[in-house]
Amino acid sequence: MKEKTSIGIVLIFLSPALSAIFLFFILPLLSALFISFTDFDIYTLGDFRRLKFVGLENYIKIFEDDLFYKALYNTFYFVFIGGPLSIITSLLAALLLNSKFIKLKKFFRTVYFLPVVTTIVAVAIVWRYLYHPRFGVFNYILSLFGINAIDWLGDPKYAMPAIILLAIWKNFGYNMILFIAGLQNIPTELYEAAELDGASNWQKFKEITLPFLAPTTFFISIITMIGYFQLFAEPYVMTQGGPLNSTLSMVLYMYQEGFRWWNIGYSVSIAFILFIIILIITLIQFRYEKKIHY
Amino acid sequence: MKRELIIIFLVSFFISCSKKDDTLTFWAMGVEGENVIKLTTEFERQYKIKVKVQQIPWSAAHEKLITAFVSNTLPDVFQLGNTWIPEFVALNAIISLDSLCEKNNFDLNDFFDGILESNKIDGNLYGIPWYVDTRVLFYRKDIMEKLGRKNPPKTWEELYQLSKLIHEKTNQYAIYFPTNEWVPLIVLALQNKAQLLSDNFTEPAFTCSNFVQAFNFLARFYHENLSPSNITEVTNIYQAFEEGYITMYITGPWNISEFKKRIKREIQNSWMTAPLPSPDSSYPGVSLAGGASLVINSKSRKKDLAFKLVEFLSRPEIQIKFYNLISALPSRRSAWINSNLVNDKYLQPFRIQLEKTQAMPKIAEWENIMISRIQKYVEEVAMKKVTVLEACDNLNNETRKLLRKRKELVSQGLLK
Amino acid sequence: MKRKFIIKSVLLNLVAISIGVLTLVPFVWMISASLMKTGESAKFPPRFIPSEIDFSHYVFLFQNLDMARYFLNSLIVSILITFISLLFNSMAAYAFAKLKFGLKDNLFKFLLSLMIVPGQVTMLPLFLMLKEFGLINTYLGISIPGMASVFGIFLLRQFMLSIPDSLIDAARIDGASDFKIFFRIIIPLSRSILITLAIFTFIGAWNDFLWPLIIMTDSYMYTLPVALASLMGEHTQDIELMMAGSVITITPIVILFALVQKYYISGILIGSLKE
């Protein structure tokens, strides 16, 4: 029974999904590449004779564009500060819920996970008011500890941290589940043996827990990074990229250039740069992972 | 099989969902959209045509309209801010109305000249002014009287001194110049006779002294804590006004009804409107020649019918009704004469202000320049990230890049 | 020793409780602010309990702002995407898991590599393309990017690999066609993973924002998140109203999650298994 299935049958099963992926993903991807070499813009939409092939001009323009650098910086800030903070929060929450001292584990797991499934637009709206400098709940909590009001979304210094805080709250439950599963896969005998040797908690964590969690952490860091690079709804709803463009992310900038000003060629080029950055960083992570394992 | 039946059901459902074609579609923004339906029902009754009104929020209006244009989903008739007309003309998205006006004997002489002019591009009329809109000063009479000031400021200097006084005595902000709006800077610049763009609107002129002076004047309000230097502090302008958190605010006629509705009763007699102060003695200072027009989609298959709706909505008696609904100021002289509009104390200043308005550059890129560049530098200056001179320099450089394609097309004769 | 044990236990449980409280604060405030009278939520110190329960914002949303329509749109779109993608993905997954053909592994690896391409790259061209097909402002158009997902194919394939070949071989000997095997054996056996993926897809589609924002230019076609973001532009100052809108958007998804969280969480774990 190991002979090949007839090609017709294979095609019938594969074609719905594959043609959808080809038509609505690969084809647009290729046309995006083409468009990024043109000056497709609002004038072109009115009259196609105004379209011009411009080679790499869009990409050159991007590297001269202050707003692009700003968006790049903000996105990196979000990914490389917010990402690790999210992952650490998830790990701590997982360790907590994995502890034998905790009662009602399932209940806490559900509560911590709740923000993950909620709608980011709705949640961002709620948080926008929680961050209100005068009436917001956060500043109220701070005031209980005698800390002065912070203008979370109005001060360029605090706006991105405020968005990171929201992202951590929204996402930590997801990775927490993965970490808990990773923790449960660690054989308890190892800990028992370490205890007999008189190892401290920290030593146990460093020598047993962390190495065993490495594959999980690797997977988590890749999906978290790819997800965080696509930051959009939070700044769109909460700050529109402000104040002083301190929360302008690459995707938001791409959206504004593309769907607000219809500089289509330029917008698509920004998207490609985002793609290339994600690709490079993922490759680096894969290389790094190999080093750890072998 | 059950599964196939479901698919067939779904497919037929989507086909049946596609649009029917016996109605006129009409888009209006913000409160206009929420209220205009009360007027269109009358039109529906008179003409036995269904009008499908849709409201789009002002905050996303521009991108929604352009997206709709790109995707061929613009309605037959829509409201367009008169600063957006050049862009939609460049896109060939709206039609010239001259022949339709002629065919229907539509009297254009009744409209205010300034506002009609802003609807013309190269001599052709593209929109019928629906309402006019200019900005004046809203202020708290009681707070100012407590400080011994009976009259609203008439010159820039008076405005500045008054603001300082308010700030010193009440320890609150004096005036609200939102840092996420281009309006304050552009109004001040126009008042100071700054040119904004030169050479047939292909070159920026933001480094000329008149513009820099206006920007410097605005910056003082932020830097001396006379105006909030960010927008998060005032989420609710009505509440802020009510609390005396701000005493003055430059805004448009729609806020008359909003102020009446939203501000608590104890303060209702304590606010007033006034024309804008001027940099010199020529009170009042210039304000924006704003307003919204009704335009017709060039791809509409019901242009004649569409014009009937435009004509109906711009009738003087309908304009008065519209004013009563949302305080949109009529664009026709006869509507002002034949109503009690002239007796409204809040409206008097608007009437005076309407005599002194000025239009902004009529090019497609202007909206982008204002939203993504001018606003950005107002904010940066307010937060002391750059000096006014640096801001003007950067503004010039970035605007030049945005105007590059226009300049190219103009020099090739592809664009006027 | 025993006392130390108790102190540690109490301490850790307290930490767990306080994290739980912090996690829930935004929801609690959202719900209570949505029931406050206009203006009551903008007071300092913030209130967590409405002085009197006021449903008027909910009424306003449904009566004046078309909320029912948006709700229905969200529901239709989410169900449609879930249905189509489940069918397409499970068929492809079956081919990759159980059928034998040349280039299978290469093709599958190629698909997996697509996961790294951010969807935003394709949005503008896809928008222009769907415009040519007249699919802007349609339920079909909004569903298109979600019709087939590499992640879904991957998830289902992993599961189907674990179905013993002997079952399929036995059916073949009895003369069953591949369709019969697919619908009569594979689908019933994959029930749990299909439910998991259905929940994933449904929640993802319900919460999706960027694509619906782009493709739906007609406000009658808005989904809840798009409608909410658009309301935010017009009603920023009406905090209580916005909170009511948020409650309406979030509640169905939270209820769904509460009912089926077992499946959802097992799905996350399967998805993370490497080949």
3-state secondary structure chain A: CCCCCCHHHHHHHHHHHHHHHHHHHHHHHHHHHHHCCECCCHHHHHCHHHCCECCCHHHHHHCCCHHHHHHHHHHHHHHHHHHHHHHHHHHHHHHHHHCCCCCCHHHHHHHHHHHHHCCHHHHHHHHHHHCCCCCCHHHHHHHHCCCCCCCCCCCHHHHHHHHHHHHHHHHHHHHHHHHHHHHHCCCHHHHHHHHHCCCCHHHHHHHHHHHHHHHHHHHHHHHHHHHHHCCCHHHHHHCCCCCCCCCCCHHHHHHHHHHHCCCHHHHHHHHHHHHHHHHHHHHHHHHHHHHHHC
Amino acid at A45: L
Phi, psi of C138 (to 5 degrees): -125, 155
Task: Say whether B382 sits in a helix, a strand or coil.
Answer: helix
* Radius of gyration for the alpha carbons in chain B, expressed in angstroms and rounded: 23
**pLDDT tens-digit profile, chain B (416 residues):** 455 555 555 555 554 444 445 789 999 998 888 889 889 999 999 888 899 998 888 877 888 888 888 888 899 999 998 888 988 988 889 999 999 999 988 888 888 877 888 898 888 999 999 998 889 999 999 999 998 888 899 999 999 999 999 999 988 999 999 988 899 999 999 999 999 999 888 999 999 999 999 999 999 999 999 998 877 667 778 888 888 889 999 998 888 888 888 888 888 888 999 999 999 988 899 998 888 999 999 999 999 999 999 999 999 999 999 988 888 889 888 888 877 777 788 988 988 888 888 888 888 888 889 988 999 899 999 999 999 999 999 999 999 988 988 888 888 877 76
pLDDT band, very low/low/confident/very high, at C248 (cuts 50, 70, 90) = very high
Is A121 within 8 Å of A259 (Cβ atoms)? no
How big is the A-C interface in CB pairs under 8 Å? 257
CATH code of residue C263: 1.10.3720.10
Closest by CA to B53, choosing from B31, B71, B72, B81, is B31
B213 with B225, same domain: the answer is yes
Q: Does C237 touch chain B (CB under 8 A)?
A: yes
C76 with C164, same domain: the answer is yes
Strands of the sheet with B329-330, listed across from one edge:
B50-56, B23-29, B77-81, B290-296, B128-133, B329-330
B267 with B179, same domain: the answer is yes
Q: What is the tens place of the pLDDT at every residue in C48-105?
A: 888 889 999 999 999 888 899 999 999 999 999 999 999 999 999 999 998 888 888 9
Amino acid at A279: L
C66 with C178, same domain: the answer is yes
Q: Which residue range is the domain that position C36 belongs to?
A: 1-54
Residue finishing a domain among C54, C71, C99: C54
B327 with B222, same domain: the answer is no
B400 with B308, same domain: the answer is no
Chain B: which residues have CB within 8 Å of chain C? 3, 6, 10, 14, 17-18, 30, 34, 54-60, 64, 67-68, 70-73, 235-239
Which residue's entry shows tokens 């949302």? Answer: B326
Q: Is residue B384 part of a domain?
A: yes
- Per-position DSSP letters for B175-194, written without gaps between them: EE--TT-SHHHHHHHHHTT-
B151 with B268, same domain: the answer is yes
B80 with B157, same domain: the answer is no
C121 with C159, same domain: the answer is yes
B190 with B279, same domain: the answer is yes
C46 with C170, same domain: the answer is no
Tell me what ipTM this predicted complex has: 0.90
CA distance B216 to chain C (A): 30
Of B58, B59, B239, the CB nearest to C39: B239
Q: What average pLDDT does the segment A203-213 reach?
A: 88
The predicted structure's pLDDT at residue A13: 93
Q: Is residue A263 part of a domain?
A: yes
3-state SS track over A28-69: HHHHHHHHCCECCCHHHHHCHHHCCECCCHHHHHHCCCHHHH
C147 with C29, same domain: the answer is no
C158 with C145, same domain: the answer is yes
pLDDT at A255 over 50: yes
Q: Which residue range is the domain that position B402 belongs to?
A: 136-287+363-411
In chain C, the number of structural domains is 2
**What global pTM score does this model have?**
0.86
C residues 199-218 closer than 8 Å to A (CB):
203, 206-207, 209-210, 214
Q: Name the token pair of A7.
A: 């090609």
Of B368, B376, B383, the CB nearest to A261: B368
Runs of H (alpha helix) within B126-276: 141-146, 156-170, 183-191, 209-223, 237-242, 254-262
C34 with C78, same domain: the answer is no
Q: CB C125 to CB A230 under 8 A?
A: no
In chain A, the number of structural domains is 1
C12 with C62, same domain: the answer is no
Closest by CA to B177, choosing from B235, B120, B218, is B218
Nearest CA in chain A to C248: A122
CA distance A190 to chain C (A): 22
Of A25, A96, A130, the CB nearest to C15: A96
Q: Average model confidence (pLDDT) for chain C? A: 89
B111 with B144, same domain: the answer is no
Q: Average model confidence (pLDDT) for chain A? A: 89
The predicted structure's pLDDT at residue A9: 87
In chain B, the number of structural domains is 2
Q: CB B93 to CB A39 under 8 A?
A: no
Q: Is residue A104 part of a domain?
A: yes
Q: What is the tens place of the pLDDT at every residue in C23-52?
A: 999 999 999 999 999 888 888 788 888 888
CATH code of residue B172: 3.40.190.10
C60 with C50, same domain: the answer is no
The predicted structure's pLDDT at residue B7: 55
